[in-house]
Amino acid sequence: MQPDLSLLANSSYKVKVFFGAKQQEGRVSFKLLDAMLALGGNVEPVKVMRSGSNAVDMHIAYFIGRLIEKEPDAVLHIISADTDFDPLAEYLRANGVSCHRSKTIAELTKKAAPVKQSPPRQRPSRAAAAPKSPPAAKKPASDRLAAIIRHLHAMSGKPGTRKKLAQTIGTFLKQHGGEQPAAVVESHIDELIRLKYVSQSGTKVAYHLGS
């Protein structure tokens, strides 16, 4: 089953589409061709010259390695129903690389969809004291992320590694709304790093949450 690339139209994703040796001999659907054309310079077809067991998977792993070497801060997404990619993605995340697997592009775009924000609070009157909150260079993308930041800010012993940070956030989310998939937890960590509330060096993390 071909991925629905049309869901990535007008997005900032850069896509590599891998064609197995046998796929190159068959017909390419107009839907796939039209979606690739819509992505313009953000899509690159990759030809796998020989067929064989896991031939396409090995090519994907090779290109991931090249991308990490060229762009170590890139966020990588593998679109595949093959769970054999999970150990690779977990290993890369443990070593500071943001890499996740989604079964479909629809699943990926659903994870990346912004959470609806609540309406802004009214400014307090002169007689009321505004509650103290940690300073931030940028506003969090969602109320859920803001709650995570407040939770981390209140912790006296913050987790020192990305793995422990993921466990902390996973436990917090489970207690406040229900257990979330590991990919959702990792996406929150990626957002904290992007917004510079957290920085990562190897497997270690540091916090910049304000006083």
> Could you list the pLDDT tens digit for every one of the 211 residues in the chain?
566 777 777 777 888 888 876 665 666 666 777 777 777 778 888 888 777 778 888 888 898 998 888 888 888 899 888 888 999 988 888 888 888 888 888 887 776 554 444 444 444 444 444 444 444 444 545 678 888 888 898 888 899 999 999 999 989 888 887 888 888 888 889 888 888 889 988 888 999 887 6
Residue type, 109: T
Q: Rounded to an integer, what distance in angstroms lies between the CA atom of residue 55 and that of residue 42? A: 24
- Nearest CA to 89 out of 125, 61, 56, 126 is that of 61
165 and 93 share one domain: no
C-beta neighbour count of 162 within 10 angstroms:
22
Cβ-in-10-Å burial (0-12, 13-18, 19+) of 147 comes to middle
Domain range for residue 200?
Answer: 143-207
Give residues with Cβ within 8 angstroms of 178, minimum separation 6: none
* Same domain as 12, residue 103: yes
> Do 97 and 182 fall into the same domain?
no
Residue 40 lies inside a defined structural domain of this protein: yes
The number of distinct structural domains making up the chain is 2
pTM of the model: 0.48
Query: Among 182, 105, 187, which residue's Cα sits nearest to residue 144?
Result: 187
Residues 203 and 163 in one domain: yes
Whether 172 and 148 have beta carbons less than 8 Å apart is answered as yes
Q: Which of 112, 129, 153 is the last residue of a domain?
A: 112
175 and 92 share a domain?
no
